[in-house]
């Protein structure tokens, strides 16, 4: 800024001499230049691709994909379009990273806290775990789980059986599959309502306890709401939910719900690997909370458990959340290593198979980058929002 | 990641302002070697031997090309490519020619800015299973889990085959041949599918090759051959006629052994082929003894076949369709005249 202590305004009408106007003009010019260069790049690419006889545009999204995909959360067959394959891949990525983030957080917190435990053995084991998973390349760990662990399971005909209803073999874990008949919807609604009501009661009871000190038997109520009523509804509608049990027929089990080994290996590797980093973040976060806080809590008569839960962790979270966000982003991006073991994640299905079958490298790589960018921005957005809520509120 | 890199090269290439390109043949001559895209290791077609030297039928096509241009079959550099990375590598100019068991299809010939030149091996898709499964025909495979490699015609054909025969299947597609065969060996799949020649090649990698058998069924046409970039007709002609010349040489009985005699031949066809008459090599932008150079260094098509995939090799694949047309096969090349 210009020093205007003398109160003199720049001569009216002369925008050229107004530093603010000049700054804006320069910015605008710069943006225009960037857009122009970008645009000419796109134009050039179009013209040159055409000259080289390479197909361009996004029409391929509607064409038939023609290849199969091992795991799909939505209806998909070889006759589906590339657009559909895109979605299948995207959902598979979100599935493995969504579950991965939750499990890695739970495991990471457990290990991080265990590392600070006064129990020598526990702390040492946690420490060794962190060193082990952090120092081995992730791809190696994925291969380890896939080839050395899951790959050595017996074939379908020698499956390990769990009470004849679930099986484990080198094609994955096969579980009974719920079948829903008419009336199942009602049971579901009663269950959801029960969960929602329990949460509401929980919040209300906490507030009341904070205000008046009165306790409320919320656990018992929740049991009735979540288990009791749905059970009544279940029998009242004539037991509409049954289980389909897997059965060995021909080459493999038919029926039942299957978790493929590619998914399992990728998930386990991502979770154990990322948990190692999260554990360190949690440990650092807890150590960052002044020792006096713990001592104060103890002197108020709080036991170690509640002290950790009510005093230390909430304060540690402020330190933990920002680096935790990067770990979540890393996990999501690392899930693209799926290609190594054939798990059909987004990168593999789209930037791999679809790219190769259509030959439209430029469009596909651009979309792929955009998709990962959006996933990352949404994740950071959510975490920043959470962080702001947890941030220190000065009273 | 390699694919992302190639794509960036491609982006830089097409995004830049000048679209002018020097002719590939001139570029190759200037740099002194042919950059040839091959597989990551497919015995018989392209795989590095224990000394790291590349061998195989696809490799020999590139060596013949180098011999024709430089009179030296060693003036080739090989770029190993997985099925899914191969086209981007050629589009971006990373390689001059793709000689990597690649099936000629309309889609690939038109939409990718690439051209197929000639067929070097007539193949078809088949299945390999464990003998213990006691399967005799592909039609008994309903419900099976199939291992295959992504980015191939294989994964498309297998989908068509099972759908057309109303059979269920599950496909697990891997990025590289090694991962695919390892997964099959570990029992992840009941069936391994790929071009039949490649089944023979991959079977060699199995610890107990004798426990596995290749079903008789062939479910597709897979004419394999080298590809070049679209738009450079001279280079297209050079690669195409390299293959044709190798086949013509076999037909005319010109081999590495009898080359010296053949150079003195009075047969006009042989004379044109070996450049002792006419100026056909020059028309391609090469020297007139271009075929003689190839035969001297690499051999004719039949010699290349026998050495790499035929009786002289561990694969020992019947020549079948790939016999010359005059011997009951369909291998046929336009005349050199
Ligand atoms: N001919 C088919 C299949 C070619 C292919 O890549 N086959 C695999 C199956 S074994 C292969 O050769 N892989 C060797 C490698 O990736 O290095 C095509 O052009 O799409």
Q: Which domains does chain B have, with CATH numbers?
A: 15-122+224-327 (3.40.190.10), 125-220 (3.40.190.10)
Total tally of structural domains belonging to chain A: 1
pLDDT (0 to 100) of residue A76: 93
Asked if residue B226 has pLDDT above 50, the reply is: yes
Q: What stretches of A136-244 show up as alpha helix (H) in DSSP?
A: 138-143, 184-212, 218-223, 229-236
Residue with CA closest to ligand 1 atom 14:
B177
Q: Is A252 part of a structural domain of the chain?
A: no
d(CA B243, CA B248): 9
Q: Is A210 part of a structural domain of the chain?
A: no
User: With bands split at pLDDT 50, 70 and 90, how would you rate the model's confidence at B10?
Assistant: confident
CA–centroid distance, A1 to ligand 1, in Å, is: 65
pLDDT (0 to 100) of residue B123: 96
Atom from ligand 1 closest to the CA of residue B46: 17
Tell me the chain B residues in contact with residue A53 when contact means C-beta distances shorter than 8 Å: 110, 112-113, 230-231
pLDDT (0 to 100) of residue B18: 47
Q: Element (H or E) spanning B11, and its range?
A: helix B2-15
Summarize pLDDT for B29-55 with one digit per residue, the tens.
999 999 999 999 999 999 998 898 999
The partner residue sitting opposite B113, judged by closest CB among A54, A151, A261, is: A54
- The position carrying tokens 């509608």 is A237
ipTM rounded to 2 decimals? 0.84
Q: Is A46 part of a structural domain of the chain?
A: no
pLDDT (0 to 100) of residue A394: 56
State both tokens at A283.
């440990």
Indicate if ligand 1 lies below 6 Å from the C-beta of B40.
yes
d(CA A85, CA B147): 19
Task: Spell out where chain A has E strands.
Answer: 160-162, 166-169, 172-175, 177-180, 241-244, 247-249, 252-254, 257-259
Indicate if ligand 1 lies below 6 Å from the C-beta of B44.
no
Summarize pLDDT for B254-289 with one digit per residue, the tens.
999 999 999 999 999 999 999 999 899 999 999 999
Subunit contact B111:A365, Cβ cutoff 8 A: no
Rounded (10°) angle between helices B177-185 and B196-203? 70
pLDDT (0 to 100) of residue B19: 46
Question: What residue in A sits closest to B20 (Cα-Cα)?
Answer: A48
Mean pLDDT value of segment B160-172: 93
Subunit contact B112:A359, Cβ cutoff 8 A: yes
d(CA B280, CA A394): 89
Q: What's the CATH number where A274 sits?
A: 1.10.3720.10
Average pLDDT, chain B: 92
Mean pLDDT value of segment B152-163: 94
Tell me the chain B residues in contact with residue A43 when contact means C-beta distances shorter than 8 Å: none
Q: Is A203 part of a structural domain of the chain?
A: no
d(CA A181, CA B177): 45
Asked if residue B20 has pLDDT above 70, the reply is: no
A117 or B121: whose pLDDT is higher?
B121
pLDDT (0 to 100) of residue A252: 84
pLDDT (0 to 100) of residue B21: 64
Cβ–Cβ pairs < 8 A, chains A and B: 153
Indicate if ligand 1 lies below 6 Å from the C-beta of B39.
yes
CA–centroid distance, B108 to ligand 1, in Å, is: 15
Q: Is A55 part of a structural domain of the chain?
A: no
Q: Is A202 part of a structural domain of the chain?
A: no
pLDDT under 70: residue ranges of chain A: 1-13, 392-395
The partner residue sitting opposite A251, judged by closest CB among B85, B144, B182, is: B144
Tell me the chain B residues in contact with residue A79 when contact means C-beta distances shorter than 8 Å: 163
Pick the residue of B173, B174, B176 with the most A CBs within 10 A to test the interface with A by mutation.
Answer: B173
The partner residue sitting opposite A342, judged by closest CB among B113, B114, B172, is: B172
Asked if residue B9 has pLDDT above 80, the reply is: no
Indicate if ligand 1 lies below 6 Å from the C-beta of B79.
no
**Cβ neighbours of residue B263 closer than 8 Å, sequence gap 6 or more:** B274, B276, B292
Half-sphere exposure of A293 (CA within 13 A, CB side): 16
pTM for the model stands at 0.84
CA–centroid distance, B102 to ligand 1, in Å, is: 7
- Chain centroid offset of residue A116 CA: 27
The angle at the Cα of A282, spanning A281 to A283, to the nearest 5 degrees, equals 90
Phi, psi of A2 (to 5 degrees): -90, 145
- The position carrying tokens 């458990």 is A305
Q: Is A59 part of a structural domain of the chain?
A: no
Q: Is A362 part of a structural domain of the chain?
A: yes
Q: Give the range of the structural domain holding residue A89, as residue numbers without chain letter.
A: 82-152+262-393
Asked if residue B13 has pLDDT above 80, the reply is: no
């Amino acid at each position: 800024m210009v020093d205007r202590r003398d109160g003199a305004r720049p001569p009216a009408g002369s925008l050229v001499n107004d530093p603010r106007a000049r700054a804006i003009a320069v910015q605008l010019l710069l943006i225009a230049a960037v857009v122009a260069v970008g645009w000419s790049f796109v134009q050039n690419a179009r013209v040159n691709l055409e000259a080289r006889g390479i197909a361009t545009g996004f029409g391929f999204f509607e064409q038939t994909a023609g290849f199969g995909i091992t795991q799909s959360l939505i209806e998909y067959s070889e006759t589906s379009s590339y657009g559909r394959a895109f979605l299948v891949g995207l959902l598979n990525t979100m599935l493995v990273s969504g579950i991965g983030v939750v499990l890695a957080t739970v495991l990471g917190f457990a290990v991080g806290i265990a590392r600070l435990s006064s129990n020598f053995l526990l702390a040492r084991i946690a420490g060794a775990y962190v060193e082990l998973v952090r120092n081995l390349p992730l791809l190696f760990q994925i291969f380890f789980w896939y080839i050395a662990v899951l790959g050595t399971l017996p074939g379908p005909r020698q499956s390990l059986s769990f009470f004849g209803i679930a099986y484990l073999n080198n094609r994955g874990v096969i579980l009974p599959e719920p079948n829903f008949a008419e009336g199942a919807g009602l049971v579901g609604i009663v269950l959801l309502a029960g969960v929602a009501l329990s949460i509401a009661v929980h919040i209300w009871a906490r507030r009341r306890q904070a205000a008046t000190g009165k306790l409320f038997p919320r656990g018992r109520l929740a049991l009735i709401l979540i288990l009791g009523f749905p059970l009544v509804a279940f029998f009242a509608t004539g037991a509409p939910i049954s289980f389909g049990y897997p059965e060995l027929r021909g080459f493999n089990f038919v029926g039942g719900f299957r978790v493929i080994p590619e998914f399992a290996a990728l998930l386990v590797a991502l979770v154990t690997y990322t948990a190692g980093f999260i554990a360190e973040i949690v440990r650092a976060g807890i150590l960052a909370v002044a020792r006096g806080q713990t001592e104060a809590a103890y002197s108020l008569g709080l036991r170690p458990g509640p002290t950790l839960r009510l005093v230390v962790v909430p304060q540690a979270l402020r330190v933990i959340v920002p680096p935790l966000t990067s770990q979540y982003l890393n996990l999501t991006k690392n899930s693209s290593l799926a290609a190594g073991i054939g798990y059909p994640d987004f990168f593999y299905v789209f930037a791999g198979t679809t790219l190769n079958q259509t030959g439209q490298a430029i469009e596909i790589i651009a979309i792929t980058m955009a998709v990962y960018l959006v996933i990352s921005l949404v994740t950071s957005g959510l975490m920043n929002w959470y962080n702001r809520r947890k941030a220190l509120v000065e009273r | 990641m390699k694919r992302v890199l190639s794509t960036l090269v491609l982006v830089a290439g097409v995004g830049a302002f000048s679209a002018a390109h020097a002719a590939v043949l001139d570029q190759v001559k200037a740099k002194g070697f042919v950059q040839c895209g091959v597989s990551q290791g497919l015995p018989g077609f392209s795989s590095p031997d224990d000394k790291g030297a590349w061998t195989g039928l696809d490799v020999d096509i590139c060596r013949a090309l180098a011999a024709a241009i430089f009179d030296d079959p060693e003036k080739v550099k090989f770029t190993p490519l997985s099925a899914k990375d191969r086209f981007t590598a050629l589009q971006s100019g990373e390689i001059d020619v793709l000689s990597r068991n690649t099936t000629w299809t309309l889609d690939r010939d038109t939409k990718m800015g690439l051209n197929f030149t000639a067929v070097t091996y007539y193949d078809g898709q088949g299945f390999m299973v464990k003998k213990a499964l006691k399967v005799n025909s592909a039609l008994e495979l309903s419900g099976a889990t199939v291992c295959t490699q992504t980015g191939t015609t294989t994964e498309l054909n297998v989908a068509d085959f099972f759908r057309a025969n109303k059979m269920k299947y599950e496909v697990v597609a891997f990025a590289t041949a090694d991962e695919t065969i390892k997964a099959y060996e570990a029992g992840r799949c009941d069936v391994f599918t790929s071009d039949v020649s490649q089944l023979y090649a991959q079977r060699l990698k199995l610890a107990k090759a004798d426990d596995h058998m290749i079903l008789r069924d062939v479910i597709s046409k897979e004419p394999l051959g080298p590809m070049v970039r679209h738009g450079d007709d001279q280079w297209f002609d050079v690669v195409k006629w390299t293959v044709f010349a190798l086949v013509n040489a076999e037909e005319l009985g010109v081999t590495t052994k009898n080359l010296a005699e053949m150079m003195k031949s009075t047969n006009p066809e042989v004379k044109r082929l070996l450049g002792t008459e006419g100026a056909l090599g020059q028309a391609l932008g090469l020297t007139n003894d271009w075929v003689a150079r190839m035969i001297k260094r690499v051999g004719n098509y039949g010699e290349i076949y026998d050495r790499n995939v035929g009786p002289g090799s561990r694969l020992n694949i019947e020549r079948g369709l790939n016999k010359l047309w005059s011997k009951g096969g369909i291998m046929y090349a336009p005349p050199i005249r």
